[in-house]
Structure 1
Amino acid sequence: MKIAIVGCGAMGSIYAGLMADAGNEVWAIDTWKDHVDAINRDGLRVEGASGDRRVTSIRATTDGAEVGVCDLVIVATKASGVAAAARTALGLTGPDTVILTIQNGLGAADRIAEAIPTSQVMLGVVGGFGASMRGPAHAHHNGMELVRLGEMDGGETVRLAEVVKVWEGSGFAARGFPDIHQMIWEKLICNCAFSGPCGVTGLTVGQVLDHPDAWKIASSCAAEADTVARTKGIRLGFEDVEDYVRSFGSKIRGAKPSLLQDQEARRPSEIDAINGAIPVEAAKVGLAAPINATVAGIIRARESGF
């Protein structure tokens, strides 16, 4: 299968490395020129829970026009980059191309749908990877949990099963779901627990779990998100939100969420799509989310100086 990864950062590099190693024709499209040049020169190194490998078959570029029509386009940018990525993806799209967008938080699907018909769009939710870049053409990840996939318009389709097989054939645990929006909210709740709180405190996931004050903030963020989701009528696959996010975090204790990595690198984060999205969604159903609003406000204030 011919696959393009639009946004080949930490998570995108893991997708690209494992999918290319499985024999797919993989193109990595990214704006980081040093990263692109290093992949083309030396190959892409992916290490961590999936092993340690250097993949030399990936074609990397900063210009999506070089790629041509693909069978599968995976948009793996940060939330702020989705609109530009959608325009790139459009140039890679034929009548049978599947566009799969995988981001943290809310809003990415709507931005993709502004450029591409929803009938061609799938949504993905991944968790438990704890990915980071060690340098150009060198990605690391702490875990390797389930990749959840679904049609944006819902339902179980033949092509969804085919895309799941591509992921499975590349070494990922993957599963298709008829209601991917449930999965998005379940991941968002975990992100609210650890993204903003880790960014504010500078602590890893495990350190947040172990520190009473940090955990109070994290669990409160998760509880607010849980209440909003249930009020909106989202069906969640768990009962106790605190147990749910604690179990999630315990599997990636050493991880620094990407939002914390952004803070350390002094670059804008995805806070508005994660903790910052909860007060917005809460207002739609007559609720408030003051803890998430406070955490998001602190992050925004810090980023105003970046």
Structure 2
Amino acid sequence: MSTSPRHRYVVIGAGAIGGTLAAHMVQAGHDVLLCDAAADHVEAVNRDGLRIEGPVAQLHVRVPAVLPADLPDRIDRAVIAVKAHHTRAAVEPLVERLAPDGVVLTVQNGLTADVLVELLGEERVVSSFVNIGADYLEPGRILQGNVAAFRVGELHGGEITPRVRELVEVLPYAQATDNVLGYLWGKEAYGAMLWAGAVSDLTIAESLERPEYRPLMVALAREVLSQSPVPVESFDGFEPDDLEGSLDRLAAFNRRSAKQYSGIYRDLVVRRRKTEIDSQLEDLRGPIFARIGAIVHDIEDGRREVSTANLDELASYAASLPTP
């Protein structure tokens, strides 16, 4: 293990969301260490600082950054901000490093808390729902496209605990909730629509508002919402009881953002790397999302290109299914 100095907050995954949150935390005066597996990003941050760009804020902060092998021996508070399929690799180093009263917060997409609970125990895990739009631009540079809902809460719901209050106080835009799973399942439904749109070359707003794709988006959201074990919460224009209206509100919300394409699209087209689709397929059942998964796999493996033809195919498939 490393003998590097101990920091109060360690953000593991210094990309779009992790980097954005960390920069605001540092700007507010909090003691933060960044950790990322990308050596060029770590080097750039240590050499030149971390820059947040875009219409929301222009930040340039000095913050130490390390590779996973150089994490400190003891960690008090960790924020996990890696892609879902990297969760286990990111959390395993914490098994021996997390302080006895340590807390780990996941700010990831999907329902990743199960992996954290398996490795660390539920008593050490706090969850969150993050809808802030951000993009990794290049080593040391991140775009923050908007300000959006951010909720932090205990996995089991109920009481707003002292550790949740601490995290809300430290993290930008965060608010406490007694139903974080309700927000996460709302994000799963909205996220499923983003997955559908990402296989096309349309912006988020365009894929949500075009009339020919509205039945697909509504059917997809219903498919996901039917699986939620808790009451689903509303956020940023998404209303589980008004999916038709949600499409218009979400399109308007995304048009106001400097982030016009989803992180999924950027993984497929810009960064050309593995998406989080396999983790999502573990969480979500249903024929429409399964078809999305097959198309995403085809794109990842070079068997097809990102195109509106893929979205047309999904719309036709959804229309062919019997009405629930």
TM-score, normalised on structure 2? 0.82
Matched, 1:221 2:223: no
1:188 is matched with which residue?
188
Task: Letter of the 2:24 partner, please give it.
Answer: L
- 1:175/1:266 CA distance change after superposition, 3 Å: same
The alpha-carbon deviation at position 76 of structure 1 amounts to 0.4
- 1:247/1:69 CA distance change after superposition, 3 Å: farther
**Cα distance between partner residues in 2 of 1:242 and 1:72:** 40
**Cα distance between partner residues in 1 of 2:209 and 2:241:** 23
**Cα distance between partner residues in 1 of 2:94 and 2:52:** 24
After TM superposition, the structure 1 stretch with the greater mean CA deviation from structure 2, 251-260 or 293-302, is 251-260
Matched, 1:150 2:147: no
- Post-superposition Cα deviations, 1:57-78, rounded to whole Å, max 9, x if no partner, equal x111113544242332000001
- 1:190·1:245 contact (CA, 8 Å) conserved in 2? no
Unaligned runs of 5+ in 2: 1-6, 234-239, 304-324
- Post-superposition Cα deviations, 1:61-112, rounded to whole Å, max 9, x if no partner, equal 1135442423320000010000011112334410121100121122x11111
**Cα distance between partner residues in 1 of 2:227 and 2:248:** 19
**Cα distance between partner residues in 2 of 1:29 and 1:298:** 33
Task: Please tell me the root mean square deviation across aligned C-alpha atoms, in Å.
Answer: 2.0
The partner residue of 1:123 within 123, 127, 131 is 127
Aligned residues: 286
Q: Secondary structure at 1:88's aligned position in 2?
A: helix
- 2:17·2:81 contact (CA, 8 Å) conserved in 1? yes
- 1:276/1:203 CA distance change after superposition, 3 Å: farther
Matched, 1:7 2:6: no
- 1:152·1:180 contact (CA, 8 Å) conserved in 2? yes
The alpha-carbon deviation at position 49 of structure 1 amounts to 4.3
- 1:136/1:214 CA distance change after superposition, 3 Å: farther
1:26-37 alignment, distance < 5 Å: 26-37=32-43
Task: Letter of the 1:188 partner, please give it.
Answer: E
- 1:112/1:179 CA distance change after superposition, 3 Å: same
1:286 is matched with which residue?
none
1:160 is matched with which residue?
164
Task: Find the structure with the greater CA-based Rg.
Answer: 2
Q: Secondary structure at 2:188's aligned position in 1?
A: helix
1:243 is matched with which residue?
245
Task: Letter of the 2:113 partner, please give it.
Answer: A
The alpha-carbon deviation at position 26 of structure 1 amounts to 1.1
**Cα distance between partner residues in 2 of 1:50 and 1:88:** 34
Task: Letter of the 1:84 partner, please give it.
Answer: A
After TM superposition, the structure 1 stretch with the greater mean CA deviation from structure 2, 247-256 or 153-162, is 247-256
- Post-superposition Cα deviations, 1:117-174, rounded to whole Å, max 9, x if no partner, equal 11010001111x221111111000211112111112333212211211112xxxx222
Q: Secondary structure at 1:252's aligned position in 2?
A: helix
The alpha-carbon deviation at position 216 of structure 1 amounts to 3.5
1:285 is matched with which residue?
none
Matched, 1:18 2:24: yes
**Cα distance between partner residues in 2 of 1:200 and 1:162:** 39
1:48-197 alignment, distance < 5 Å: 48-56=54-62, 58-106=63-111, 108-127=112-131, 129-155=132-158, 156-167=160-171, 172-194=172-194, 196-197=195-196
The partner residue of 1:234 within 230, 236, 248 is 230
**Cα distance between partner residues in 2 of 1:71 and 1:243:** 43
The alpha-carbon deviation at position 278 of structure 1 amounts to 2.2
**Cα distance between partner residues in 1 of 2:135 and 2:214:** 23
Unaligned runs of 5+ in 1: 280-288
- Post-superposition Cα deviations, 1:44-65, rounded to whole Å, max 9, x if no partner, equal 0012243101111x11111354
TM-score, normalised on structure 1? 0.87
- 2:208·2:250 contact (CA, 8 Å) conserved in 1? no
Q: Percent identity?
A: 29
- 1:276·1:293 contact (CA, 8 Å) conserved in 2? no
Task: Letter of the 1:201 partner, please give it.
Answer: S
Q: Secondary structure at 2:143's aligned position in 1?
A: strand
1:303 is matched with which residue?
300
- Post-superposition Cα deviations, 1:19-41, rounded to whole Å, max 9, x if no partner, equal 11111111111111111000000
Task: Letter of the 1:125 partner, please give it.
Answer: F
- 2:133·2:148 contact (CA, 8 Å) conserved in 1? no
Q: Secondary structure at 1:97's aligned position in 2?
A: strand
